[in-house]
């Protein structure tokens, strides 16, 4: 499997040169397809100070199929589903947008960008997106509350 | 000759600089091939051979021959080498200039240019005052080659060659490029490994490089999954800028898909590539509104069209999309208006009506969808979506005589029994009349709740939903009311469209209605409409009957066998019949309304009890009709 080799290579790369604010480990030794990431929210974002656990599942067709991202830490964000999955499906993560040369490091960079600036027009949580657009104060308050509650 | 002949010395020096130099020391001559790879790709225009004099004529000819072969401009980065043969005469360098002869493979460089370059040797020799000139001259030639021999400075701005040379020159360009590419090393963005050029592939359109293994894996997978849109360059940024800048993202997107030739070049199996081409073509045919489909229901293949030629056996030569899509950018814009609307607005020319199915080769008329009737037959447009007579009939039948399951929409026809239905597909309990979901535990509440539109209508249509008078809207009051409405609207629209036809239909319909009406009159001795009106009254005004209506109701039905058309009426009648009606006392009577209600309740009670034991089928209300077949309409 060329995919597996590539995953090894990518994993080695992110170990020696981790994407900003990310700590990457394997969920369990010997399974290269389940990555655990702890991401520190960008300091200039409303999530600043929060540490978010993200599970990345690399499908067996990876890199031909996009990885699946789940926030394990609850997060109040229009682009992350507000359920136990905490799924995110944005831009390059979409199956029809995904291109094999994209790497997990690129994906994590995208995640950080989206944390810093939510994309309400591409939201999975319409309610949060509406609030983000129309009542930014309330949105930020809840988001910060949640960071304090779940992401410390 | 003396060993210290300057000519020997110079040739030796040149040999050291150009190891590929072939020298003939005996005749003081040497041959050298000089690569021609201009720094700016050289624009070459290939014109059909006879076009020198008047190109307009050949355009016309080319078009008439059906060949799309017109002038083509090609930018070539590599051209066949310039081969230089130099002979140093006695007295060189002091007294005689070197004799040079220049040629090119495929004679692509115009002889005028060659002679000019040859004469440069003498000019240089003179300029340098009769000294050793060979290296300077070779360098001069190389620099000229680098500049593309200034051919783009000519009046035409490019090199003009006959079309016959195109193939070889383009091939030379390609093989040279490939050789250079193969010698390189590239990092494949997919497997992240450095790979030799030989096992990589460079996208001809955008120049992105990936390794063959990854490309094959990806595209094979995409083709297997039917993901035609995924067959594009895999570089994440590829094609994005162009699409956004233009604001025509979609167009760009479809254009980005790869040509089958490229897939073949990557070493993807021909069968796979063919599947890709077929899927792509099918998609295009299906999205093109102007596509005409074969009217044979078992075929439904697309009609042959010049726009989508059949896929050739040689996929590499497939030209249906990519090659033409550059033109189609400009071409489809005006075309789109033409192709989308003409079906309705402009009549199709007589000669253009012939369509031939590419699958079953049926020749048919694209206007009336009948077998081809020749150019001179009159025919009337038929919507390809329109159903055949048989289909329409069965469709109408389904609409008129069935009720859809509210859960799975399976058409359900009641052949007999009550209106509590259980879907054979999904086991949903529902009301046949209004399509309401019923509680499987106690479905009859629906028919016993006062105020419900189906109150007391459990046994309507008991004999089955068939053969009722179409004028009777009651059976369809619920679930199918809107369908009837839609049918009506559609019918009206049809009538407006084809009045003549509609008239005939109306006439027939009228006859039918008349015939039926007569039947009913015979059957009931009163117009069915009246009968229905009575039943309505009966239901709504059970407690305040008007004497006149009551009188009419006391009619006798002279026909023991019930005409099917009266199913509803009878169902209602029967179910409202007093309990004791079956015991032989066949007297006309008019029970007090109170009594009647009680009896009704008792009857229903009995039925419900049976129903709970699941024996309601045994409740044969026919027995209540009595033997003499005479019964009373309340």
pLDDT category at B581 given cuts 50, 70, 90 is very low
pLDDT of residue A54: 92
pLDDT of residue B50: 58
Instruction: Assess whether B211 and B153 both reside in one domain.
Output: no
Would you call B236 and A64 a contact, using CB atoms and an 8 Å cutoff? Answer: no
Strands B194-196 and B79-87: unpaired
Average pLDDT (B215-243) is 82
Separation in Å, CA of B287 to nearest CA in chain A: 20
What is the number of structural domains in chain B? 2
Locate the chain B residue with the closest alpha carbon to A64: B218
Rounded Cα–Cα distance for residues A150 and B244 (Å): 40
Residues B313-349 pLDDT 10s: 777 777 654 434 433 333 333 333 344 444 444 566 7
pLDDT of residue A2: 52
Residues of chain B found within 8 Å of residue A101, distances taken between Cβ atoms: 189-190, 210, 234-236
Distances in Å between the alpha carbon of A110 and those of A39, A41, A90, A106, A133? 12, 12, 9, 6, 21
User: What is the overall mean pLDDT for chain B?
Assistant: 71
Rg (CA), chain B: 45
Helix (H) or strand (E) holding B422: strand B420-422
Residues of chain B found within 8 Å of residue A14, distances taken between Cβ atoms: none
The closest CB to that of A100, out of B190, B193, B229, belongs to B190
Separation in Å, CA of B285 to nearest CA in chain A: 22
pLDDT of residue B49: 66
pLDDT above 60 (res B625): no
Residue B568 CB coordination number (10 Å): 24
- Lowest mean pLDDT of B240-254, B307-321, B517-531, B563-577, name the range: B563-577
The residue among B222, B311, B304, B227 whose CA lies nearest residue B268 is B222
Distances in Å between the alpha carbon of A26 and those of A102, B63, B390, B435? 20, 65, 64, 55
- For CA atoms B225, B228, B229, B230, the dihedral sign is positive
Helix (H) or strand (E) holding B159: strand B159-162
| One-character DSSP codes across B263-306 | HHHTT--HHHHHHHHHHHHHHHHHH-TT--B-S-TTT-PBBP-S
pLDDT above 80 (res B490): no
Residues of chain B found within 8 Å of residue A100, distances taken between Cβ atoms: 189-190, 214, 218, 234
pLDDT category at B595 given cuts 50, 70, 90 is low
pLDDT above 60 (res B536): no
**Preferred mutation among B192, B215, B225 to probe A, highest tally of A CBs within 10 A:** B192
Instruction: Assess whether B134 and B23 both reside in one domain.
Output: yes
Instruction: Assess whether B107 and B211 both reside in one domain.
Output: no
Rounded Cα–Cα distance for residues B184 and B435 (Å): 72
CATH number, domain with residue B101: 3.10.110.10
Q: Residues of A numbered 40-99 whose beta carbons fall under 8 angstroms of chain B's beta carbons: which are they?
A: 61, 63-64, 92, 96, 99
Separation in Å, CA of A99 to nearest CA in chain B: 6
Residues B438-452 pLDDT 10s: 887 788 888 888 877
Would you call A2 and B214 a contact, using CB atoms and an 8 Å cutoff? Answer: yes
* Of A68, A89, A110, A124, catalytic: A89
Distances in Å between the alpha carbon of B474 and those of B105, B503, B535? 91, 27, 10
**Preferred mutation among A2, A59, A66 to probe B, highest tally of B CBs within 10 A:** A2
Q: Which residues of B291-402 form beta strands (DSSP E)? A: 354-356, 363-365
Question: Quick check: A2 contacting B, CB < 8 Å?
Answer: yes
Rounded Cα–Cα distance for residues B495 and B502 (Å): 5
State chain A's maximal CA–CA distance in angstroms: 50
Locate the chain A residue with the closest alpha carbon to B210: A101
| One-character DSSP codes across chain A | -HHHHHHHHHHHHHHHSPPTTEEEEESSTT-TTEEEEEEEPPTTSTTTT-EEEEEEE--TTTTSS--EEEESS----TTB-SSSS-EE--GGGSTTT--TT--HHHHHHHHHHHHHS--GGG-S-HHHHHHHHH-HHHHHHHHHHHHHHH--
Q: Can you tell me whether residue B34 is helix, strand or coil?
A: strand
* Residue B54 maps to a domain: no
CATH number, domain with residue B213: 3.30.40.10
Residues of chain A found within 8 Å of residue B193, distances taken between Cβ atoms: 5, 9
pTM reported for the whole predicted model: 0.52
Rounded Cα–Cα distance for residues B523 and B564 (Å): 9
Rg (CA), chain A: 15
ipTM (interface predicted TM) = 0.83
Kindly give, in sequence order, each residue whose CB lies less than 8 Å from that of residue B361, ignoring residues fewer than 6 positions away. none
pLDDT category at B437 given cuts 50, 70, 90 is confident
State chain B's maximal CA–CA distance in angstroms: 153
pLDDT category at B622 given cuts 50, 70, 90 is very low
Would you call A6 and B229 a contact, using CB atoms and an 8 Å cutoff? Answer: no
- The angle at the Cα of B282, spanning B277 to B284, to the nearest 5 degrees, equals 100
Backbone angles phi, psi at A145, to 5 degrees: -55, -45
Domain boundaries, chain A: 5-150
Q: Residues of B numbered 196-255 whose beta carbons fall under 8 angstroms of chain A's beta carbons: which are they?
A: 210, 213-214, 217-218, 221, 229-230, 234-236
pLDDT of residue B466: 61
Locate the chain A residue with the closest alpha carbon to B209: A101
Q: Which residues pair with B364 in a beta bridge?
A: B355, B371
For domain A5-150, give the CATH superfamily. Ubiquitin Conjugating Enzyme (3.10.110.10)
- Residue B356 and residue B304 in contact, taking contact as beta carbons nearer than 8 Å: yes
The closest CB to that of B218, out of A5, A6, A100, belongs to A100
| Rounded percentage of chain B residues whose pLDDT exceeds 90 | 2
Backbone angles phi, psi at B356, to 5 degrees: -125, 125
The closest CB to that of B234, out of A10, A96, A101, belongs to A101
A22 belongs to the catalytic site: no
CB burial of B81-96 (b: ≥16 within 10 Å; e: otherwise) equals bbebebbbeeebbeee
Helix (H) or strand (E) holding B74: strand B72-76
- Residue B572 and residue B459 in contact, taking contact as beta carbons nearer than 8 Å: yes
Kindly give, in sequence order, each residue whose CB lies less than 8 Å from that of residue A152, ignoring residues fewer than 6 positions away. A49, A50, A51
pLDDT category at B240 given cuts 50, 70, 90 is low
- For CA atoms B491, B497, B499, B502, the dihedral sign is negative
Residues of chain B found within 8 Å of residue A5, distances taken between Cβ atoms: 191, 193
Question: Quick check: B381 contacting A, CB < 8 Å?
Answer: no
Instruction: Assess whether B170 and B27 both reside in one domain.
Output: yes
Enclosing domain of residue B191: 185-235+256-287
Locate the chain A residue with the closest alpha carbon to B230: A96
Residue B210 CB coordination number (10 Å): 26
Instruction: Assess whether B151 and B42 both reside in one domain.
Output: yes
Instruction: Assess whether B87 and B226 both reside in one domain.
Output: no
Instruction: Assess whether B281 and B144 both reside in one domain.
Output: no
The closest CB to that of A101, out of B193, B221, B236, belongs to B236
Of B243, B268, B287, which closes a domain?
A: B287
Helix axes A2-16, B212-225, angle to 10 degrees: 120
pLDDT category at B305 given cuts 50, 70, 90 is confident
pLDDT above 80 (res B119): yes
* Residue B135 maps to a domain: yes
First-to-final CA distance of chain A: 39
Residues B167-192 pLDDT 10s: 888 888 888 888 888 888 888 888 88
- The angle at the Cα of B467, spanning B555 to B475, to the nearest 5 degrees, equals 75
Rounded Cα–Cα distance for residues B425 and B409 (Å): 9
Kindly give, in sequence order, each residue whose CB lies less than 8 Å from that of residue A21, ignoring residues fewer than 6 positions away. A39, A40, A41, A42, A112
CB burial of B298-326 (b: ≥16 within 10 Å; e: otherwise) equals eeeebbbbeebeeeeeebeebebbbeebe
Instruction: Assess whether B166 and B198 both reside in one domain.
Output: no
Helix (H) or strand (E) holding B160: strand B159-162
Instruction: Assess whether B154 and B201 both reside in one domain.
Output: no
**Preferred mutation among B188, B190, B237 to probe A, highest tally of A CBs within 10 A:** B190
Would you call B191 and A2 a contact, using CB atoms and an 8 Å cutoff? Answer: yes
Backbone angles phi, psi at A82, to 5 degrees: -90, 60
pLDDT category at B253 given cuts 50, 70, 90 is very low
| Rounded percentage of chain B residues whose pLDDT exceeds 70 | 63
Separation in Å, CA of A74 to nearest CA in chain B: 30
pLDDT category at B65 given cuts 50, 70, 90 is low
Locate the chain B residue with the closest alpha carbon to A62: B190
Strands B194-196 and B420-422: unpaired
Residues of chain A found within 8 Å of residue B210, distances taken between Cβ atoms: 101
Low-confidence residues in chain A, pLDDT < 70: 1-3
Question: Quick check: A100 contacting B, CB < 8 Å?
Answer: yes
Rounded Cα–Cα distance for residues B409 and A83 (Å): 33
* Residue B425 maps to a domain: no
Kindly give, in sequence order, each residue whose CB lies less than 8 Å from that of residue B175, ignoring residues fewer than 6 positions away. none
pLDDT above 70 (res B267): yes
Q: Between residues B487 and B41, which one has the greater pLDDT?
A: B41
Average pLDDT (B55-70) is 52
Helix (H) or strand (E) holding B195: strand B194-196
The residue among B335, B330, B314 whose CA lies nearest residue B261 is B314
DSSP 8-class letter at B95 = T
pLDDT of residue A36: 92
Residues of chain B found within 8 Å of residue A10, distances taken between Cβ atoms: 192
Kindly give, in sequence order, each residue whose CB lies less than 8 Å from that of residue B271, ignoring residues fewer than 6 positions away. none
Q: Between residues B387 and B395, which one has the greater pLDDT?
A: B395
* Residue B40 maps to a domain: yes
DSSP 8-class letter at B468 = -
Of B153, B175, B197, which closes a domain?
A: B175
């Amino acid at each position: 499997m060329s995919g597996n080799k590539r995953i090894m290579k990518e994993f080695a790369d992110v170990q020696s040169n981790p994407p900003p604010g990310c700590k990457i480990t394997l969920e369990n030794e010997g399974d290269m397809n389940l990555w655990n990431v702890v991401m520190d929210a960008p300091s200039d974002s409303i999530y600043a100070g929060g540490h978010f656990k993200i599970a990345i599942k690399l499908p067996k067709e990876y890199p031909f199929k996009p990885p699946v991202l789940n926030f394990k830490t609850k997060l109040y964000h229009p682009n992350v589903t507000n359920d136990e999955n905490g799924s995110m499906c944005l831009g390059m993560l979409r199956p029809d947008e995904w291109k094999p040369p994209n790497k997990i490091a690129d994906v994590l960079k995208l995640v950080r960008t989206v944390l810093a600036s939510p994309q309400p027009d591409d939201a999975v949580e319409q309610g949060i997106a509406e609030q983000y657009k129309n009542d930014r104060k309330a949105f930020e308050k809840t988001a910060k509350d949640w960071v304090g509650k779940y992401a410390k | 000759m003396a060993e210290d002949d300057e000519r020997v010395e110079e040739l030796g020096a040149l040999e050291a600089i150009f190891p590929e130099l072939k020298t003939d020391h005996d005749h003081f001559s040497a041959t050298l091939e000089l690569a021609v790879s201009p720094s700016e790709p050289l624009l070459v225009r290939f014109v059909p051979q006879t076009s020198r004099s008047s190109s307009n004529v050949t355009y016309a000819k080319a078009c008439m021959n059906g060949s799309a072969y017109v002038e083509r401009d090609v930018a070539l980065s590599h051209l066949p080498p310039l081969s230089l043969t130099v002979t140093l005469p006695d007295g060189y360098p002091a007294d005689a200039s070197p004799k040079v002869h220049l040629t090119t493979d495929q004679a692509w460089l115009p002889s005028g240019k060659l002679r000019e370059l040859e004469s440069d040797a003498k000019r240089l020799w003179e300029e340098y005052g009769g000294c050793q000139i060979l290296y300077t001259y070779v360098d001069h030639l190389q620099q000229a080659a680098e500049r593309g021999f200034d051919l783009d400075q000519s009046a035409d701005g490019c090199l003009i060659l006959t079309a016959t040379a195109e193939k070889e020159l383009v091939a030379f360009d390609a093989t040279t490029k490939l050789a250079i590419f193969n010698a390189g090393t590239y990092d494949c963005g997919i497997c992240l490994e450095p790979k030799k050029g030989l096992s990589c592939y460079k996208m001809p359109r955008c120049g992105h490089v990936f390794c063959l293994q990854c490309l094959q894996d990806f595209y094979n997978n995409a083709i297997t999954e039917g993901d035609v849109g995924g067959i594009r360059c895999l570089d994440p940024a590829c094609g994005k800028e162009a699409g956004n800048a233009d604001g025509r993202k979609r167009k760009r997107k479809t254009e980005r898909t790869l040509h089958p030739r490229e897939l073949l070049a990557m070493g993807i199996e021909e069968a796979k590539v063919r599947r890709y081409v077929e899927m792509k073509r099918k998609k295009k045919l299906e999205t093109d509104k102007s596509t005409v489909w074969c009217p044979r229901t078992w075929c439904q293949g697309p009609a042959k069209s010049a726009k989508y030629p059949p896929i050739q056996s040689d996929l590499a030569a497939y030209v249906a999309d990519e090659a033409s899509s550059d033109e189609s950018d400009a071409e489809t814009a005006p075309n789109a208006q033409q192709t989308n609307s003409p079906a309705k607005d402009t009549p199709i020319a007589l000669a253009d009506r012939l369509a031939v199915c590419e699958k079953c080769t049926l020749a048919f008329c694209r206007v009336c969808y009948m077998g081809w009737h020749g150019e001179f037959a009159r025919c009337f447009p038929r919507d390809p979506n329109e159903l055949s007579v048989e289909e329409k009939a069965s469709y109408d039948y389904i609409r008129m005589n069935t009720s859809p399951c509210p859960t799975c929409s399976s058409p359900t026809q009641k052949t007999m029994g009550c209106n509590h239905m259980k879907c054979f597909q999904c086991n949903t309990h529902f009301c046949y009349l209004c399509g309401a979901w019923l509680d499987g535990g106690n479905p009859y509440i629906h028919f016993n709740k006062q105020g419900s539109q189906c109150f007391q209508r459990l046994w309507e249509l008991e004999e089955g939903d068939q053969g009722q008078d179409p004028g009777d809207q009651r059976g369809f009051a619920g679930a199918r009311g809107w369908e009837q409405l839609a049918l009506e609207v559609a019918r009206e629209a049809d009538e407006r469209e084809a009045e003549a036809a509609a008239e005939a239909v109306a006439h027939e319909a009228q006859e039918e209605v008349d015939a039926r009406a007569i039947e009913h009159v015979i059957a009931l001795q009163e117009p069915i409409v009246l009968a229905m009106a009575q039943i309505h009254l009966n239901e709504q005004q059970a407690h305040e009957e008007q004497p006149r209506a009551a009188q009419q109701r006391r009619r006798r039905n002279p026909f023991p066998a019930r005409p099917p058309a009266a199913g509803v009426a009878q169902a209602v009648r029967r179910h409202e019949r007093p309990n004791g009606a079956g015991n032989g006392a066949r007297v006309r009577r008019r029970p007090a309304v109170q009594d009647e209600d009680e009896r009704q309740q008792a009857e229903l009670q009995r039925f419900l009890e049976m129903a709970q034991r699941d024996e309601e089928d045994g409740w044969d209300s026919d027995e209540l009709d009595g033997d003499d077949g005479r019964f009373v309409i309340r």
